[in-house]
Structure formats: structure tokens, C-alpha cells
């Protein structure tokens, strides 16, 4: 991805989201652009208009953390947006988060080591799975495989949540709040693009989704990013109906870039009963799959 273009579009989109009133400035009249003017951002960041214009053209190479923080404050960036701006600056410098030269790593297939799979299998009350920043599902426990049965049912999904969300019509049933799920999915991918700008598999996925889905292309152009660590989501599973589940996403220290996510239900809730029914359904499906033909 073109770093200059990514920086330019990200900063421009953030500037457009802030009203003069939010920034404590008079709104005035005859505004020809949404949000703040470059001159206003420059003043809020305590720098010259010329220097800020240079940054917004995508020139972040060599920019100090103090300057980036000034821009972040002026644009009222949240934690995820601040981190994204830092990743874009690191990409411009050709370094990683620790200042080391960034190396292009060849794409590789990842499979869970035995102890990780044992850990997943030990979680029996809720779906637990490992994904990467491209939203490929890499490892699951039994309940997660049943939970994501719609994704596994179609080979074209390639066990990828983003591809399922935008290219499989079944996702509209699985996600009752489809628009929100779509927003979150794109924000996760955009965050990963800033963190790993040379990931060819991610480039290919974004290109495919942009070509085949207007919904994706519009959201991708918004340049929204987010941290996706905890929260609550609604689902509708074909076998057990509606589920409201809390989730916790844990970054894996031993495997940077991978996230372990666990879904749980409120104790005593209908969703907890739904997960128990899902476990029973999964066991039945497994038994039927193992049964020899003709019996």
C-alpha cells in the first residue's frame, strides 16, 4: 500500500470529522470543506501551516514522536487512531514499533502448537479461537467450530471472517447488527494494514473485497480504525437462534499479530442456555460425521 496516500487520506479524513465547535474555534462562514481547515489544525498543533501541509501530503518520514502527538491532540485522535498514526510513521521510516528495520516476511501457513490447542480445547463453556489481523480463523475449540459453522460450510469463505461478512449472504442472518459487524471488520483490517503495510495476503484480501463489495469499498475509504479487545455482540445461529455474547480478545505474546478470542454468555441467561444447546448440537454433528455410511 502507498504509505504517502495512506497518511494523506487518514489525516484528511480525521480533519474532516472535527467541527470548529468541537475544537473550541468559531465556526465562521463560507467554509468550503467539512471539518477543520489545515490552518486551524496547524494552529492547534502549534506548527506552521506549511509544515502541517507537508505532513498531510503524506511525508511522515523522520517526524518525531512529539510532533505526531501534537497532531494527534489537534485532531482529537482516540487511542486506536493514535496507534495507527504511529504505525504509519514507522512504515514511512521503514522500521517496526521498536525502531528496528522493518523486514518483509514471506507469507506462511501457521498452525497451533499442541499446548495452544490443548488450551483451546480446555475452554468448554464458550467459543474460543485464534485469528490473525487479516481475520483468518487459524485455530478453534469444538464450540467455536460449531459457532462458525456458516463460515466453514462454504469453501469460498476460506475460513476468513471478513470474506464471510462481505461476500457470503448468510452473514446477514448470522449478524443481526450486520452494519455494525461490517464496520468493525473493516476497522480491524485497516488497523492491520497500518501495522503490517507489506502483508501481501492482506493486500490481496482488500483488493478482492474492494472489487466485489460496494459495502466494503465504502467503509475502507473511511479510514476508520479501532482496538477490538472487549465488548458484546449479537448473533443468530441457525441451530440455536439468537445469542448475546461478551468477548475478550487477548494478544498472544508468543505469537505477535495473533489474537485469542473467547466468547461467553451471562450466567443464567438465555444465551448461556443457547451455548449449551450449541455444544449438544456440535456433538450430534460430530457423531453423525463419524458414523459409517449405511448405518
Give me the CATH number covering residue 79: 1.10.260.40
Give this prediction's pTM: 0.86
Same domain flag for 149 and 279: yes
| Residue 86 shares a structural domain with residue 29 | yes
Distance CA 295, CA 64 (A): 70
Range of the structural domain that residue 81 is part of = 3-93
218 and 174, same domain (yes or no) = yes
Answer yes or no: is 280 within a domain: yes
In this structure, the answer to whether residues 190 and 236 fall within a common structural domain is: yes
Domain-embedded: residue 99: no
Domain total in the chain = 2
Q: What is the pLDDT of residue 25?
A: 85
Q: pLDDT 10s per residue in the chain (295 long)?
A: 688 999 999 999 999 999 888 888 887 667 777 799 999 999 999 999 999 999 999 999 999 999 999 999 999 999 999 999 999 999 888 755 444 444 444 444 667 788 999 999 999 999 999 999 999 999 999 999 999 999 999 999 999 999 999 999 999 999 999 999 999 999 999 999 998 888 999 999 999 999 999 999 999 999 999 888 899 999 999 999 999 999 999 999 888 889 999 999 999 999 999 999 999 998 887 766 666 655 5
**145, 174, 181, 250 from 139: Cα distances, Å:** 9, 20, 21, 14
Domain co-membership, 154 together with 188: yes
Amino acid at each position: 500500500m502507498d504509505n504517502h496516500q495512506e497518511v494523506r487520506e487518514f489525516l484528511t479524513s480525521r480533519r474532516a470529522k472535527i467541527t470548529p465547535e468541537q475544537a473550541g474555534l468559531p465556526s465562521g462562514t463560507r467554509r468550503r470543506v467539512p471539518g477543520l481547515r489545515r490552518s486551524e489544525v496547524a494552529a492547534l498543533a502549534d506548527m506552521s501551516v506549511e509544515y502541517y501541509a507537508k505532513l498531510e501530503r503524506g511525508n511522515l518520514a523522520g517526524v518525531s514522536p512529539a510532533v505526531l502527538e501534537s497532531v494527534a491532540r489537534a485532531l482529537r485522535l482516540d487511542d486506536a487512531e493514535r496507534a495507527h498514526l504511529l504505525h504509519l510513521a514507522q512504515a514511512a521510516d521503514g522500521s517496526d514499533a521498536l525502531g528496528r528495520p522493518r523486514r518483509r516476511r514471506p507469507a506462511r501457513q501457521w498452525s497451533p502448537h499442541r499446548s495452544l490447542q490443548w488450551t483451546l480445547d480446555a475452554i468448554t463453556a464458550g467459543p474460543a479461537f485464534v485469528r490473525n489481523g487479516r481475520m483468518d480463523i487459524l485455530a478453534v475449540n469444538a464450540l467455536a467450530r460449531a459457532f462458525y459453522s456458516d463460515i466453514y460450510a462454504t469453501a469460498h469463505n476460506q475460513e476468513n471472517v471478513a470474506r464471510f461478512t462481505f461476500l457470503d449472504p448468510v452473514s446477514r442472518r448470522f449478524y443481526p447488527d450486520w452494519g455494525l459487524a461490517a464496520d468493525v471488520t473493516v476497522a480491524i483490517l485497516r488497523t492491520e494494514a497500518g501495522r503490517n503495510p507489506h502483508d501481501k495476503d492482506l493486500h490481496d484480501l482488500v483488493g478482492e473485497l474492494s472489487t466485489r463489495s460496494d459495502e466494503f469499498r465504502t467503509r475502507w475509504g473511511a479510514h476508520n480504525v479501532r482496538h477490538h479487545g472487549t465488548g458484546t455482540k449479537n448473533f443468530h445461529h441457525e441451530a440455536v437462534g439468537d445469542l448475546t455474547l461478551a468477548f475478550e480478545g487477548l494478544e498472544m505474546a508468543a505469537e505477535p499479530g495473533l489474537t485469542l478470542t473467547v466468547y461467553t454468555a451471562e450466567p443464567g441467561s438465555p444465551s448461556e442456555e443457547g451455548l449449551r444447546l450449541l455444544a449438544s448440537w456440535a456433538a450430534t454433528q460430530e457423531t453423525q460425521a463419524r458414523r459409517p455410511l449405511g448405518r
